Structure 1
């Protein structure tokens, strides 16, 4: 599961690169509304990158199988949700194809499911910590 850590780090790197490019190269070329959408995408991208990286680090610890599975599912869902949400907005703005933002809610829903799996991992870990033993 070290791959999730690598994916989180790549998402983080891309978020900084895209954020800097948007601020310095794109901002003068797009209207304020489009720039606001892009900044929202960058914010979600950065949060997703941090969460995926944190999950990747957590997966390096000794964990029970159920917790490990829930964390891994959450990590991959966060990755998918971040890509669908943020990159649909990026591509829509860059390519002038507003229909691409139809993918954005799918990414948002995927992110909500990812949070639910992270809650599940926490709950399973909590229950395991309280188990007699």
Structure 2
């Protein structure tokens, strides 16, 4: 990461700045204990940024929860809110998040229930 920061440090900084700017609380469920290659870190940060933009613009949620873990099988990302959810066709932001994970060899899904919220889940296999 730029400036020698780990992915966990970069995520903490990003989440704190976003929460302060938007007034939406962030619950950090988990951050990676080990670092990842820079291209993976950039993709994860871009995806989290896009997910947070969607929360801010569309969800109406007061809290968002974020977990990023790295284990033997790879990396897992979850961004979840209890906002208004959606039933419409996903927009460009979701397409960008999916494309970012696909370029890194992984996949990303978005589950949304009207009136219940939205969860973005991305998985990158080890060596992705």
Q: TM-score normalised to the size of structure 1?
A: 0.38
Q: Which has the higher contact order (CA 8 A, sep 6+)?
A: 1
Q: Which has the higher strand share?
A: 2
Q: Which has the higher helix share?
A: 1
Q: TM-score normalised to the size of structure 2?
A: 0.39
